[in-house]
Amino acid sequence: MPGGMTASKKIAISLPATLVAKANRAVKDGHAKSVSAYIARAVEEKANDEDLRQMLDEMLAETGGPTTEDEQRRLDAAFRLRTGETLDLRSLNKKKSKKRRAA
């Protein structure tokens, strides 16, 4: 297809009203061309996250598994995370730790 366009398939889905309102707001605010484009981008991002998670799981399996507590402390120090934050390698996001650390 010309210009980077991909084939699309029309489907019918049901969404909670709050999500429909958010999609409509994104279109109104100019963050998406259409509700379909907004939802397609969300699905694509979710699929990419799952691909990354699978790749990380494979890498962890090849290298001996998830980080140990000592490795996690060194990662936190290397990334200069604030007290109570840890680098969650599974989601690749900074997250608040469930355990409070001593200040």
Q: Are 32 and 23 in contact (CB under 8 A)?
A: yes
Q: Please report the sign of the dihedral spanned by the C-alpha atoms of residue 19, residue 23, residue 29, residue 31.
A: positive
> What is this structure's pTM?
0.56
Tens-digit pLDDT string for the chain (103 aa): 455 557 899 999 999 999 999 999 999 999 999 999 999 999 999 999 999 989 988 988 898 888 788 887 787 788 877 777 766 666 555 455 555 444 4
Q: In the numeric block, which tokens belong to residue 34?
A: 């259409």
**Spans of all domains in the chain:** 15-64, 66-103
Q: Please report the sign of the dihedral spanned by the C-alpha atoms of residue 86, residue 92, residue 93, residue 98.
A: negative
